[in-house]
């Protein structure tokens, strides 16, 4: 039961932060790409890389921290379903350039962010 609560607390906090970033991005966005989702996903990827690196190098860290921060917070903060829905919207509207830029950019930059986060813990 403790593990479920940790994941739920982390997920709730991550979802709230993602919502706030999305709202903030709407004020400064050019409406060409969904920058709120992109920002949350890239920051979440960077944070997951940092946490994976930190937990890998510090084996004494309890599994509860991993559940709270990686599974919960980062899982709630990042959003594959919204990313997929936004891409579906690009396809429906025939905006294939934005679809390709957003999809390829998100995946490649996300992987690079995890890698850089992991390197930051060395």
Q: Is 31 helix (H, G, I), strand (E, B) or coil?
A: coil
Gyration radius of the chain's alpha carbons? 16
| Binding-site positions | 75, 78
Beta strands in 1-122 (DSSP E): none
Please classify residue 103 by burial: count the beta carbons closer than 10 Å to its beta carbon, then call 0-12 exposed, 13-18 middle and 19+ buried.
Answer: middle
Q: State the Cα–Cα distance between residues 2 and 45, nearest whole angstrom.
A: 25
| Binding-site positions for Na(+) | 75, 78
């Amino acid at each position: 039961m403790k593990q479920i609560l940790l994941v739920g607390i982390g997920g709730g906090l991550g979802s709230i932060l993602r919502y706030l970033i999305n709202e903030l991005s709407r004020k400064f966005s050019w409406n060409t790409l969904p920058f709120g989702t992109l920002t949350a996903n890239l920051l979440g990827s960077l944070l997951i890389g940092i946490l994976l690196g930190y937990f890998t190098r510090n084996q004494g860290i309890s599994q509860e921290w991993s559940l709270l921060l990686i599974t919960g917070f980062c899982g709630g903060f990042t959003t594959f379903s919204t990313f997929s829905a936004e891409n579906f919207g690009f396809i429906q509207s025939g905006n294939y350039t934005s679809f390709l830029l957003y999809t390829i950019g998100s995946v490649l930059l996300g992987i690079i962010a995890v890698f850089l986060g992991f390197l930051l813990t060395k």
